[in-house]
Amino acid sequence: MIECNQNPPLFHDYTKLLSQSRDQIDVKRLMNHEPGLEECELPLVDLCGLWSENEEERASCASEICKASSEWGFFQIVNHGISLELLWKMRKEQVKLFKAPFERKTASGLLDNSYRWGNQTATCPKQLSWCEAFHVPLSKISDDTCYGEFNSLRKVMQEYASAMQELAKSIARVLVANMGAQRGVWEDRCNASTCFMRLNRYPPCPVSPELFGLVPHTDSDFLTILHQDEHVGGLQLMKDSKWVAVKPNPDALVVNIGDLFQAWSNDVYKSVEHKVMVNQEVERHSIAYFLCPSYESFIGCYDEENSIYRRFTFGEYRSQIQQDVKAFGHKVGLPRFLVST
């Protein structure tokens, strides 16, 4: 059983919420819990092709990226250029950070006060996330005051963010070029200070195996690069209207398309719903790098005249999400911005 002083708000609040609602609802149905859940291997893209001198190899790799982005919204990449040493160093720092006492994580400005425990706005089990996270704006990571006693985190965090920035932009360039759009105009919108990094920890969950580690959602960015736990699975995504479990691949990073690329590409690339299920015995860690533009950036569409979404800024999009989460307990996302509504 989880110690209350180890995970204070969740254990108490979630157990209460769950016991109150068990009598009234069918929890299994709410959680989309499927006993015969399929495990899938995501399309695997070897990025060697992207860095190749050979034009045909580059074109073939680009085509795999674009195909996966429109058919799955998800793919995994190997030979991505991020050293195993950097991935390992970052994971080590992440584990150390989460081991800090709860009070230390919530207070005193650690990583720009970006610590979150689950979701406080949850009013029913399907809104619960059994997860703690630092959702860090990268504009703050060179700030000394962010780190306190976690001195060694600063250097690794900066190295990791800048490596991910380069990788994310290389993939974004492929997706942009494939739509016949100009690279320069778009590139200026995302830079080292407009993106976010989310350090996730999913503690073992003794309450129920049917709870979410992270509730079903789409990401609100252009694209995400995820370093998921090498061995502990839990990530699931929607494929052909069914939840499928993603098999962890220790050699690969996972890439997924976010809402902004879906809007920009007029639904050619898919921002696919995904979620994380809890594990009753073991903890799980992951790190997500979100490629985001500045809040003033208009997202628009590569084909302005035929856009199915109205023009909106990233700031507008984020604040609509926050309003919806407050009002309904969940994000509505792109449907809010359809021209026809």
Ligand X SMILES: C=C1C[C@]23C[C@@]1(O)CC[C@H]2[C@@]12CC[C@H](O)[C@@](C)(C(=O)O1)[C@H]2[C@@H]3C(=O)O
Site string for Fe ion, 211-250 (x = CB under 5 A): --------x-------------------------------
Residue 210: left (phi > 0), alpha (psi -120 to 50), or beta?
alpha
Q: What is the dihedral of CA 257, 168, 161, 196, to 10 degrees?
A: -30
User: Which distant-in-sequence residues (6+ apart) come within 8 Å of 287 by Cβ?
Assistant: 90, 91, 94, 160, 197, 198, 199, 200, 226, 227
Binding of ligand X by 113 (CB under 6 A): no
Q: How far apart are CA 245 and CA 35, in angstroms?
A: 12
Q: Catalytic pick from 189, 198, 201, 284?
A: 284
Give the residue with the Cβ less far from ligand AKG, 172 or 301. Answer: 172
Give the residue with the Cβ less far from ligand X, 105 or 217. Answer: 217
Choose which of 132, 219, 221, 259 interacts with ligand AKG (CB under 6 A). Answer: 219
Site string for ligand X, 185-204 (x = CB under 6 A): -------------x------
Q: How far apart are CA 160 and CA 85, in angstroms?
A: 11
Beta carbon of residue 245, minimum distance to Fe ion (angstroms, whole number): 15
Site string for ligand AKG, 280-299 (x = CB under 6 A): ------x-x-----------
Catalytic-residue membership of 154? no
Binding of ligand AKG by 220 (CB under 6 A): no
Give the residue with the Cβ less far from ligand X, 169 or 198. Answer: 198
Binding of ligand X by 93 (CB under 6 A): no
Strand partners, 226: 254, 288
Sites for ligand AKG among residues 194-213 (CB under 6 A): 198, 200
Binding of ligand X by 330 (CB under 6 A): yes
Q: Return the SS3 of 99.
A: coil
Size of the site for Fe ion (CB under 5 A): 1
User: Which distant-in-sequence residues (6+ apart) come within 8 Å of 102 by Cβ?
Assistant: 5, 6, 7, 8, 117
What are the start-end ranges of the E strands in the chain?
38-40, 44-46, 74-78, 115-117, 132-137, 196-202, 212-217, 223-227, 235-239, 242-246, 253-257, 274-277, 284-291
Q: Return the SS3 of 197.
A: strand
- For residue 27 the two structure tokens come to 């929890």
Q: How far apart are CA 266 and CA 278, in angstroms?
A: 34
Binding of ligand X by 331 (CB under 6 A): yes
Choose which of 80, 169, 189, 274 interacts with ligand AKG (CB under 6 A). Answer: 274
Q: How far apart are CA 104 and CA 125, in angstroms?
A: 28
Residue 228 contact partner, candidates ligand AKG, ligand X, Fe ion, none, CB within 5 to 8 A by sort of partner:
ligand AKG
Residues of the shown chain interacting with ligand X in the complex, contacts defined by CB under 6 A: 119, 135, 198, 215, 217, 219-220, 321, 325, 330-331
Residues of the shown chain interacting with Fe ion in the complex, contacts defined by CB under 5 A: 219
Residues of the shown chain interacting with ligand AKG in the complex, contacts defined by CB under 6 A: 198, 200, 214, 219, 226, 228, 235, 274, 276, 286, 288
Q: Which residues form the catalytic set?
A: 284
